[in-house]
Chain A
Amino acid sequence: TLTLTSLIILTLPITTTLLQNNKTNCFLYTTKTAVTYAFAISLIPTLLFVQSNQEAYISNWHWMTIYTLKLSLSFKLDFFSLTFMPIALFITWSIMEFSLWYMHSDPHINRFFKYLLLFLITMLILVSANNLLQLFMGWEGVGIMSFLLISWWHGRTDANTAALQAMLYNRIGDMGFIMMMAWFIIHLNSWEFQQIFLTNPKNTTLPLLGLLLASAGKSAQFGLHPWLPSAMEGPTPVSALLHSSTMVMAGVFTLIRFYPLMENNLTIQTLTLCLGAITTLFTAICALTQNDIKKIIALSTSSQLGLMMVTIGINQPHLAFIHMCTHAFFKAMLFLSSGSIIHNLNNEQDIRKMGGLYKTMPITSTAITIGSLALTGMPFLTGFYSKDPIIETANMSYINTWALLITLIAVSMTASYSTRIIFFALLGQPRYPSLTQINENNPYLVNPIKRLILGSIFMGFFISMNTIPHTTPQMTMPPHLKFMALAVTLLGFTVATELNNMTHNLMFKQPSRMHTFSTTLGYYPITTHRILPYLSLTMSQNLATTIMDSIWLEKMIPKNLTTMQKTAASLVSNQKGLMKLYFLSFLLSITLGLLIAL
């Protein structure tokens, strides 16, 4: 029964695309209801798993055999995939309902829904894959759908460049993925997870490095991160689905899948830890001074992804997974409420031009407040059940102190930029033109946000109560470490509130160097995106035009000769050029010699 139900889940959305009745209006509603039913059905295997703790592997269709490698269609239904699938389906359901409102006036809304559905299917393939080939198919699928969806408004050049950026950075990560696949097929002759984990090879540094590169590309870690803030060019449902809850989780998810191999390899753990720590601090710094509400939330996603990497780096993949699941809820909700604000203010995305929405949009402001509180880990909301254990475990484990300090600073910055969003968007006096009509009455807008609010509040509790802990958490620790997470968060809140209140009374002056560093995303996109084309273009220009002439006509003999002679002469000689003295001494010595001889 488990097998049948899970296969039905996957085929329900697929059949909707296969029917291809794009021209009718009811395509949207059938898609949405298909996803709803898929969500309901997917709860059945999850609850069965919760009750019995039995994992299942379905391997049904033998595709081909290449010499000694058997490739088949196999699904792995373990704790990770069974927990993540209903969450992904729930969030996709909410987002599809939201985009019925958001993309209402778009003539190609059927195609939009088709793309969202394709994305969902590839994401489910990725999550439930049991061998690396199927996972790679899902991986590439989500990459392509991300490209198509970011450039949805393809008349805008910024959207096109952002989609290209996403594609290229993902490709760099794919190199690592392919290297990993190649290593496994050469050394272990299999792409199935069971075989890889059973044989437990001893020298796994190289494939795990490839895996780390792949997840750094997919999950926007430092070095491959600029595509995530640029990907906000896509419509808000796209940002909510892809770039907050599901696609950027694909990289972290694959790292979590490989946790038996990573347990034994301390080098990779340290690398993951440091990379995650750098990412979370860097993106939190950049998020502090951005002015576009979607970019702040995107950089916040990147920061939380860094936090998940840190968790994997301290050898706690299950905590990272729980944080992934809970993060999906409140981040999707933050994006949806920002979409509601943007549409209601007539497509205004700059927080300097919002304000005073606290009274006019109560549901959205409630959603943002709850989402921000959950994000910062307020006790007993969702984020608390995942973020607090992470910080506690990090405080009590034997890790790099610098990485720990950076993570704590980034946690306090999380509180700061969340407060900034709330302050500028919701509080204060309105700074938008007064003729915009603010309307929250559409049920398509309100119901998804309400569902996600309920999820943000209760899901952490449910998930942590229903999962068996795989590693025993540290229960006893000194009180100052126990309260560390709460303390840094409160610090961030208070500092941000003070600073924001001061902005009412400040005179504008030139931004400091730190401020421009933060606003331009750390100068990283500006330098790296320009330097490679510039170097190659100048090299080719020099080769084509100036090199031949200047070498053969000038530098070969004449100029080289003069410089050689001059340097040699100045090196060797130690005269002072007193010509008359030398000549006179010459004359004197000759006359003296003649006089003595005669």
Chain B
Amino acid sequence: MPYIYINIILAFVISLIGTLIYRSHLISSLLCLEGMILSLFTLNALLSLNINFALSTIVPLILLVFAACEAAVGLALLIIISNTYGLDYVQNLNLLQC
């Protein structure tokens, strides 16, 4: 397969590992999530350009819309956590209360 695809997929895999492994700050996980979305977007755009299928150019746009919503939700969660605890350390999330 073309080298550029492997490059972008590698970027995606590294971001995935970054999402799943994080030490203390929750915001690093969210950052890597954004990285995943970025690499996916680039992959989709390149793919639809190389295949020469005009209707598939809408796919990256839809991906972008959903990514924006999800980023907003993630940031809202972050804000609530840092409202109650002051920091976003993951070890603070040990009280199961609503």
Contact = CB atoms under 8 A, between A and B. Distances in A.
Given A566-B98, A569-B98, A570-B98, A587 B20 contact: yes
A577 B91 CA distance: 10
B93 interface: yes
B94 A586 contact: no
Interface in B8-24: 16-17, 19-22
B21 A583 contact: yes
A584 B21 contact: yes
B20 A577 contact: no
Give the secondary structure class of A's interface.
helix
Nearest to A587: B20
A580 B90 contact: yes
A569 B97 CA distance: 11
- The number of chain A residues touching the other chain, given as a range, is 10 to 19
Contact of A577 (B16, B19, B29, B94): B94
A579 B93 contact: yes
B96 interface: yes
A187 B19 CA distance: 88
B92 to A, nearest CB: 10
Nearest to A563: B98
A369 B8 CA distance: 114
Contacts of B20: 583-584, 586-587
Contacts of A567: 98
A359 interface: no
B21 A579 contact: no
A577 B96 contact: yes
Contacts of A569: 98
A338 B92 CA distance: 79
A576 B21 contact: no
A580 B22 contact: yes
Contacts of B29: 583
Contacts of B17: 587
Contacts of A587: 16-17, 20-21
A587 B21 CA distance: 8
B72 to A, nearest CB: 17
Contacts of A566: 98
B10 to A, nearest CB: 14
Interface in A287-339: none
B86 to A, nearest CB: 18
A27 to B, nearest CB: 83
Contacts of B93: 577, 579
Interface in A567-583: 567, 569-570, 576-577, 579-580, 583
A577 B96 CA distance: 8
A314 to B, nearest CB: 63
B96 A576 contact: yes
A147 to B, nearest CB: 61
A593 to B, nearest CB: 14
Interface string B20-37: 111000000100000000
Interface in B51-91: 90
A25 to B, nearest CB: 86
Contacts of A570: 98
A292 B21 CA distance: 85
A580 B17 CA distance: 12
Nearest to B13: A590
A23 B20 CA distance: 108
Contacts of B90: 579-580
Interface of B: 16-17, 19-22, 29, 90, 93-94, 96, 98
The 4 closest A-B pairs by CB, nearest first: A583-B20, A587-B20, A570-B98, A566-B98
